[in-house]
Amino acid sequence: MSDSGYGMNWLTDYVRPKLNSLFSRRDMPENLWRKCDNCGQMIFHRELSEALHVCSNCNHHMQISPRERFNALFDGGAWIETPLADAPADPLKFRDQKRYPDRIREARANTGEHEAMLVARGEISGLTTVAACQNFAFLAGSMGMAVGDALLAAADAAVAAKAPLVVFCAAGGARMQEGILSLMQMPRTTIAAQTVAEAGLPFVTVLTNPTTGGVTASYAMLGDVQIAEPGALICFAGPRVIEQTIGEKLPEGFQRSEYLHEHGMLDRVTHRHAMRDELAVILRMLMRAPRRITGDLPAPEAQAADAARAG
Amino acid sequence: MRHYLDFEKGLAELEGKAAELRALAARNPAMDVRDEAAQLDAKSRKMLGELYATLDPWAKCQIARHPDRPRALDMIEALFDEFTPLAGDRAFAEDAAVVGGLARFQDRPVVVLGHEKGRDTRSRLTRNFGMARPEGYRKAVRLMRLADKFGLAVITLIDTPGAYPGKGAEERGQAEAIARATEACLALGQPLVSVVIGEGGSGGAVAFATANRVAMLEHAVYSVISPEGCASILWKDADKMREAAAALRLTAQDLMKLGVIDRIVPEPLGGAQRAPLEAIAETGRAVAAMLADLDGKDAAALRADRRRKYLEMGRKTLG
Ligand SMILES: [Zn+2]
């Protein structure tokens, strides 16, 4: 579960999506550079965001916010956010070095989001699709009641729209501050996957860096088709915990997308820039829809997405 | 030789003294120590009562891991007849950390499944301390399907520190194996009842315990992460496991309030490790009651009952 070793420190060197909501592209500070966590290359923020947070130098796939993901996924960058009900706040009255409600407050302030999963409906190559996306910037995307509820809502939305469900996974594991209730999201999210399956609709999971712990051991591994982004860490037990247990160094690339693909755990490893087209092709076939119209719809415009969000 | 836990030190001294006294008397028939020994017994009994009336969550974790607690196989041997172990996942291996097979529970044929931690060094190594590998979950899925096909109820006994954090287990897809086992629990068209008899460790436990009815032994624990693991991540200090154990709310009593479990199985004074047969008998009564609860429900009703239970979870919180 959350023993994957992912601490909250992953958040500190991540350019917070709050910036995206605070500044429109026009008044984005021109001197905002971002260092690639893999190769160290300095990349201009705007360039990086246009490249969907893929390093132009080494192809490293960095974290991307759910809103940016949806903008890139849906035709014309237009999508409708599925409203989500509030999950019980702090059910255990959990306190470690900080109070859990304070951690939540901070995460909300830093991301401008209410919780760690967003759900949206839009069209991919003309096919109505529901997508859920985990937000690693929000408490490491960790799965608590809110994430479980969000996925259940996404499943219901997919069934209601007779549409496929695509889930973008990214999580350091369980939301430890919700204790046993975070563990109970494993069966709850499995029910979400079953709900979609029973309606005869496709359930496709996209595993991004990192997908770990209880998230991997539930919906992430229950896809009709499972696709990973390149180089993503995908595991149940994290590499640090394994190294401590077996007392040896793990080989290069262990528990990365390509390794899991080789070991039969994933259908495909797909570059983020190719993901939308690939999903379109797969979903249309699974839905027995005619071949998509060639010649792409215009690249998602931030303005269009903003307009869709405002509307 | 009784194995004493850290918080039982005072008790160990008292009981040691009484034992010494009796040994001395055995060697010197002239000595009459009955009164003195009886006094010590009364004192240790009182201390035992006090200790076990005020256990903190970390003490419960230690009890749940106690080497003398009844294991899944002890339970199966005592509560079931004609136990016929069935082995293997039909793909890679047999996993000795997961025991399972056909058996009769009060004459009724069932499938029984459990984590087995082992009793001595050798069997603990064979059983991998009750930490299943992917094959264990896949075997469980196979046995649940068998139960479904032949209309047998499934009884699972949960006692695991968690999934095995090993290289091979990850290579062979333990995440997928756990997900499929949880899915199989939810898809089962027969009654599924679980008892957490010792440690309910994270995904390894949930994979077998997504049941219609879940009971926990009085001093068992069930958690998303071990207190040690939680302490090292959230407190950055593994020695804060006492604080983490309290914060995680992993006791049967808290889980009952949260609506995660349905029943607490009382343990004898001083815990199941002091009188395993009593604890086993109580467990048997709980299993029978939980099965009776589900009598007359058809496959669809059983699945709906299970689904409702998990969907409703989280409505009850600790105020
Ligand atoms: Zn790079």
- B171: nearest CA in chain A? A263
3-state class of B260 per DSSP? Answer: coil
Give the tens place of pLDDT for each residue, B141-161.
999 999 999 999 999 999 999
CATH number of B61-312: 3.90.226.10
Q: What percent of chain A has pLDDT over 70?
A: 84
* Residue A290: pLDDT over 60: yes
Cα of A31 from ligand 1 centre, angstroms: 19
Q: Do B202 and A187 touch (CB under 8 A)?
A: no
Q: What's the whole-model pTM score?
A: 0.91
Per-residue model confidence (pLDDT) at position A309: 56
Cα of A37 from ligand 1 centre, angstroms: 7
Contacting residues for A176 by C-beta, under 8 A, at least 6 apart = A1, A2, A142, A182, B224, B225, B230, B233, B234, B248
**Domain spans of chain B, in order of start:** 6-54, 61-312
Domains (ranges, CATH) in chain A?
Answer: 2-310 (3.90.226.10)
Per-residue model confidence (pLDDT) at position A295: 55
- Summarize the annotated binding site of A as residue ranges: 36, 39, 55, 58
Give B-chain residues touching A190 at CB under 8 angstroms: 179, 182-183, 186, 210
* Residue A25: pLDDT over 70: no
Contacting residues for B74 by C-beta, under 8 A, at least 6 apart = B276, B280
Confidence tier at A21 by pLDDT (50, 70, 90): very low
Q: What percent of chain A has pLDDT over 90?
A: 77
Packing angle between helix A185-198 and helix B299-312, nearest 10 degrees? Answer: 130
> From the candidates B194, B224, B225, which should be mutated to test the interface with A, based on the most A CB atoms within 10 A?
B224
Give B-chain residues touching A176 at CB under 8 angstroms: 224-225, 230, 233-234, 248
Q: Residue B194 carries which DSSP code?
A: E
Per-residue model confidence (pLDDT) at position A292: 78
Q: How many CB atoms lie within 10 A of CB A265?
A: 21
With contact defined as beta carbons under 8 Å apart, do B87 and B126 qualify? no
Stretch A64-81: mean pLDDT? 97
List the single range of A150-154, B42-46, B297-301 with lowest mean pLDDT.
B42-46
Measured distance CA(B105)–CA(B101) in Å, rounded: 12
Give the residues across from A260 on adjacent strands: none
Return the higher-pLDDT residue of B233 and A28.
Answer: B233
Give A-chain residues touching B203 at CB under 8 angstroms: 1, 183, 186, 213-214, 217, 236
Stretch A50-60: mean pLDDT? 95
Give the tens place of pLDDT for each residue, B132-146.
999 999 999 999 999
* Residue A52: pLDDT over 50: yes
* Residue B178: pLDDT over 60: yes
Cα of A255 from ligand 1 centre, angstroms: 20
- Min Cα distance B123 → chain A (Å) is 19
Q: What percent of chain B has pLDDT over 70?
A: 100
Per-residue model confidence (pLDDT) at position A19: 42
When CB atoms are compared, the residue of A183, A236, A254 closest to B206 is: A183
* Residue A302: pLDDT over 50: no
Cα of A299 from ligand 1 centre, angstroms: 24
Backbone angles phi, psi at A142, to 5 degrees: -60, 145
Per-residue model confidence (pLDDT) at position A10: 36
